[in-house]
Chain A
């Protein structure tokens, strides 16, 4: 376990160093305050984090978690249902395929009119985007279960809720984690857009506000905190997957 952690840590470190070098090269080449140096940005980040950035990050994190939570609660059962039931699949999947590629972000104004300008509209927007990833991932996970595996479980006497517990849920979990990883990136970028409207809290708001005030150092400190939040969430998801799906990480 320690070796695995070491490799992950080293890989993360490698990623950070590479990005810092590229960033620094841009900073030197452009020679403008539009791209501040990584060093200055990190210093500003440290100063801003305790009282300012942390508040904005928490607001954004709350919205992301809520949206992902709602998407799981709605998307997983629906995905299981259409994965298990051919008729449901033939009725629901065509509708999903039409709705999935729509640019839901264009509906933000409508959500704001219907649901108010608060968090509900923002969270709803993210849910309408990521629920499809989760739903389709889960549905495909169910469909991929080999028939023989189903037969073998049934032959041992597994039935009803046991089929979900011992067969379907474990088979679908790795797919769900992949869908969550994709959803996380999409949620962050969607939120960034949504937080430009009718809010004074959230890291998206903070970055765009710094931009309009032409404070590029603050803006970069905000971007840095957003990427660190993304990294933290993705790593947490990886750790959770290792814990919950150990059979996927066998040597």
Chain B
């Protein structure tokens, strides 16, 4: 699904990514984790087509990425709902832009709002919602365009612990019902292990280690010891990076 070959990227003189090679298979999930400034968000933005790359290549479904793809859904850290649109209009926007008929939009928006349990919020504005509710609306808004690739940028980092788990469960649930390719950037080791089939550990503009997570997909994994073993492994790789940095 995604092929990244020899990708490098710099912000003026700062190197954000250096020689990245990564392959992500169709309908699998991939967590990208690493310390601040390691280039993980840049990598996601390049996949999203928000910024243009100059060195290397990115292919999604065998097509070279040039600008944003219509089939890529993106969920950002701070929800990024349009403050001047109600929940309903925020969710309907992607369909309106695609020129879909009014009746169909109404049905699809209502269906997805019911599915994500936010139908009663449809007339509210984003400023009237809690963090968890905003993230649900963002998810609804992204899913309604039926993406084949979901990119998530620290999508639970602004949420409290309980809401964070709820939203993670929701993403897993959505994935189980209808698998899509998911690439997500996170600071949280637990999130990376819970939602990532493949866990990419980054450090200083490079990929340091890729861990395969055989326990992905188990909703109850948080209460199992294997989960913590993988968390520990990820932590160890991340910590080694830090020691390296300090030296």
Interface SS of chain B: helix, strand, loop or mixed? loop
Given contacts A247-B127, A250-B128, contact A154 B68 (CB under 8 A): yes
Instruction: Give the interface centre of A155, A171, A250 by most chain B CB atoms within 10 Å.
Output: A155
CB atoms of B93 and A158 under 8 A apart: yes
Interface SS of chain A: helix, strand, loop or mixed? helix
Q: Does A148 contact B (CB under 8 A)?
A: yes
Contacts of B70 in A (CB 8 A): 157
CB atoms of B82 and A153 under 8 A apart: yes
B66: min CB distance to chain A, Å: 13
CA distance A154 to B68 in the complex (A): 7
Chain A positions 38 through 68: 1 when the CB is less than 8 Å from some CB of chain B, otherwise 0: 0000000000000000000000000000000
CB atoms of B97 and A155 under 8 A apart: no
Closest to A147 in B: B50
CA distance A53 to B48 in the complex (A): 63
CB atoms of A155 and B73 under 8 A apart: yes
A250: min CB distance to chain B, Å: 5
Contacts of A246 in B (CB 8 A): 125
Q: Does A162 contact B (CB under 8 A)?
A: yes
Q: Does B74 contact A (CB under 8 A)?
A: yes
Contacts of A158 in B (CB 8 A): 93, 97
Contacts of B93 in A (CB 8 A): 153, 156, 158, 166
Contact partner, A148, options B78, B83, B85, B125, Cβ 8 Å: B78
CB atoms of A157 and B50 under 8 A apart: no
Given contacts A148-B78, A157-B70, A158-B97, contact A250 B50 (CB under 8 A): no
Interface residues of B in 140-160 (CB under 8 A from A): 141-142, 145
Q: Does A151 contact B (CB under 8 A)?
A: yes
Interface residues of B in 90-111 (CB under 8 A from A): 93-94, 97-98
CA distance A247 to B126 in the complex (A): 9
Contacts of A167 in B (CB 8 A): 82
Q: Does B11 contact A (CB under 8 A)?
A: no
Q: Does A245 contact B (CB under 8 A)?
A: yes
Chain B positions within 8 Å of A, measured between CB atoms, are 45, 48, 50, 68, 70, 72-74, 76-78, 80-85, 93-94, 97-98, 125, 127-128, 141-142, 145
Extra A-B contacts (15), CB below 8 Å, given A170-B84, A247-B83, A247-B84: A149-B80, A151-B50, A151-B76, A151-B80, A152-B76, A154-B50, A157-B68, A157-B70, A157-B97, A157-B98, A158-B93, A166-B93, A170-B85, A171-B84, A250-B127
Chain A positions within 8 Å of B, measured between CB atoms, are 146, 148-149, 151-158, 162, 166-167, 170-171, 173, 245-247, 250
- The 3 lowest CB-CB distance pairs between A and B, nearest first, are A152-B80, A155-B74, A170-B84
A-B CB contact pairs (8 Å), 28 listed: A146-B80, A148-B78, A151-B45, A151-B48, A151-B76, A152-B76, A152-B81, A152-B82, A153-B82, A154-B50, A155-B50, A155-B74, A156-B93, A156-B94, A156-B142, A156-B145, A157-B94, A157-B97, A157-B98, A157-B145, A166-B85, A167-B82, A170-B84, A171-B84, A245-B84, A246-B125, A247-B125, A250-B127
